[in-house]
Amino acid sequence: MTRNVLPVMTVVCAIFALWYGAAIWLNAPWAYDKATRTGEVLTTQTLIADTWSQKKPKLPAPHQVASEIWDTTVEKKITSKRSLIYHSWITLSATLLGFALGTGLGIALAVGIVYNRTMDMSVMPWVIASQTIPILAIAPMIIVVLNAVGISGLLPKAMISMYLSFFPVVVGMVKGLRSPDAMQLDQMRTWNASPTQTFWRLRLPSSMPYLFTSLKIGMAASLVGAIVGELPTGAIAGLGARLLAGSYYGQTIQIWSALIMAAALAASLVAIIGLIQRVTLKRMGMA
Amino acid sequence: MMWLFFAFGIWALGWWANTRLAALPRTRVTALAVPVIFGLTLIAVWEGIVRGFEISAILLPAPSMIAVRFAASTAILWEDFVQTVIKGALSGYVIGCGSAFLVAILVDRFDFLRRGLLPVGNFVAALPVIGMAPILVMWFGFDWHSKAAVVVVMVFFPMLVNTVQGLADSSAMQRDLMRTYAAGYWTTLLKLRLPAAMPFIFNGLKIASTLALIGAIVAEFFGSPIRGMGFRISTSVGQLALDLVWAEIVVAAIAGSAFYGVVALIERAVTFWHPSQRN
């Protein structure tokens, strides 16, 4: 663990150094342009100072993004429309609802596939095929169509999240439910266990490691779904809306802060699942 | 009412046929026929329900309507296909996967980089990278270059992580054997470790193939010239021309499946020796 800290820190520092350097390089044309108009001569120092503090830079410097995030999370009231926490919560609620629906659907399908041969042969290929379709392409249509029937707000976004997150769960659960080998299944039979008992006592517990791995992928996917689902609503609320509004008005700092927020959200959600996984598997004696 | 009975009848018939087929011993024919029948019943039920309940074409057009529209607007669909799939997705896919592959070899060569870059790469691979789209559109302009850039960013880390993991897959004993043959680093890489990494590399390539199409289409929502699948979908939804949207979706589905299928076929040819390819 500690062996990895130094390399990771080095890489992270290198990324920040590159970022600062790129900010100078990308923002310099605008700084020079401004200087020639006012007739100033830019020294290296003023150039750097200018490129790191522009209002609408091509690439904002890390500290600009950090201060924007600080400004919109801590300084603003949570109920304010300008608070990033307000927007994050809207995206998060759609993500969680979609994730819950997707996990439920995924587990149900997996149980059906494992226990019903017809379903295995007919549904499974289509579940796989459904993922080769770029489903996010349908996202704006789902939103607009459901809006036309009067369903708006959380549910349409959650449905897109659900669609993206059910697939990893199906694949992982099918693999997990089939992971007990023939000897273990025979053992259950010698104990005269009913199919239900075999399911609850053997198949389900042994599928848990697979389930948690899938949940992590599914969670990240459903956040992407929720963000993309917010794009076609015309930028009202949510992290996706912040991205879209930022791109309309050239507010690059706003885009970057929404992006960092989304990344932090994804990372913490996955970390929470990882924590639950550790505790659960330890209690079950599997880790 | 007739249409609803039709839909229900087809569904029952299809399910009955599939149950019978599934009970037969598994052959190549039944493995192919069962999902095909299932898909066809789905389309028939869709048609029946749309007609039976007289669902407005603004909500959900019937498959027959989509097929008619598809045939009528092949010129537009082809133009969008070239713009989004060939120019945007494919070029981004090649650049992204190629550079990730080269970086992976570099990372593998230096253990320090591997311990540093791999956790960061794993982390980035799980983030909503698609959010980079508006920034990249701002940097690279509205045309396909920005879409290719989005695709590059999206496929880079999954590909990198998979390739690095694959390169570490050969066992110490195999490497020692190569050393007893007096094989240098490059020989070992080419003759042992790259072939051993192929299943992982193809796993990355398959993941990237679906990501590439998604990235190219979603990036077009943030600005595009007046062609491209993402552009057509978002404008046609605004005009409530849902049959055209569905025609685009059909194109996307075919393109996505074909893309994945081609990668899977190449995988089968390259990694024929791997247990997962043998039946």
A270 contacts in chain B (CB < 8 Å): 126
Give which of A159, A178, A155, A165 is closest to A127, Cα–Cα. Answer: A165
| Section B131-147 average pLDDT | 84
The confidence score (pLDDT) of residue A135 equals 67
Tell me how far apart the alpha carbons of residues A219 and B126 are, in angstroms, rounded to a whole number: 9
For chain B, say whether A220 makes contact (Cβ under 8 Å): yes
Contact A11 B116 (CB under 8 A): yes
Contacts B259 to A, Cβ<8 Å: 132
Contact A145 B242 (CB under 8 A): yes
Q: Which of B110, B115, B161 to mutate to test the interface with A (most CBs of A within 10 A)?
A: B115
Q: B256–A141: do the CB atoms touch at under 8 Å? A: no
pLDDT (0 to 100) of residue B272: 81
pLDDT greater than 80 at residue B196 = yes
Burial of A73 (0-12, 13-18, 19+ CB in 10 A): middle
3-state SS, residue A179: coil
DSSP chain B: -HHHHHHHHHHHHHHHHHHHHHHSPP-HHHHHHHHHHHHHHHHHHHHHHHHHTT--TTT---HHHHHHHHHHTHHHHHHHHIIIIIIIIIHHHHHHHHHHHHHHHHHHH-HHHHHHHHHHHHHHHTS-GGGGHHHHHHHH-SSHHHHHHHHHHHHHHHHHHHHHHHHT-S-HHHHHHHHHTT--HHHHIIIIIHHHHHHHHHHHHHHHHHHHHHHHHHHGGG---S-SHHHHHHHHHHTT-HHHHHHHHHHHHHHHHHHHHHHHHHHHHH-TTSGGG--
Distance to chain B for A56, nearest Cα, Å: 12
Residue B44 and residue B7 in contact, taking contact as beta carbons nearer than 8 Å? yes
Q: Please tell me the predicted confidence (pLDDT) of residue A137.
A: 67
Beta strand spans in A145-261 (E): none
Q: CA–CA distance from A167 to each of A74, A136, A285 (Å)?
A: 37, 14, 28
Cβ(A243)–Cβ(A255) below 8 Å: yes
Output the pLDDT for position A241: 83
Q: How many residues does chain A have?
A: 287
Token pair 């310099």 in the structure block, residue: A28
What pLDDT was estimated at residue B101?
93
Q: Could B222 and A15 be called an inter-chain contact, meaning their C-beta atoms sit closer than 8 Å?
A: no
Mean pLDDT by 10 residues, chain A (287 residues): 78 86 82 79 77 78 83 74 81 91 92 83 75 68 74 81 87 85 88 89 87 86 85 71 80 84 88 91 81
Question: Residue B131: which of A8, A123, A227 has the nearest Cβ?
Answer: A227
Which is it for the CA torsion A174, A130, B124, A256, positive or negative? negative
Report whether pLDDT(B100) > 90: yes
How does pLDDT run across B147-161, given as a tens digit for each residue?
A: 899 999 888 988 888
Q: Which residue has the higher pLDDT, A275 or B120?
A: A275
pLDDT of residue A234: 55
Asked if A56 contacts A207 with a C-beta cutoff of 8 angstroms, the reply is no
> What is the C-alpha end-to-end distance of chain B, expressed in Å?
47
What does the radius of gyration of chain A's CA atoms come to, in whole angstroms? 25
Over residues B215-263, the pLDDT tens digits come to 888 888 777 788 888 888 878 877 878 888 888 888 888 888 888 889 8
Chain B residues close to A256, C-beta within 8 Å: 135
Amino acid letter at B43?
I
Flag whether pLDDT at B266 surpasses 60.
yes
Output the six-digit token pair for B242: 């849902």
Question: What is the ipTM for the molecules in this complex?
Answer: 0.74
59-98 in chain A: CB under 8 A from chain B? none
% of chain B surpassing 90 pLDDT: 7
Q: For A138, which DSSP code?
A: G
Is A12 part of the contact surface with chain B (CB cutoff 8 Å)? Answer: yes
> For all residues of chain B together, what is the average pLDDT?
84
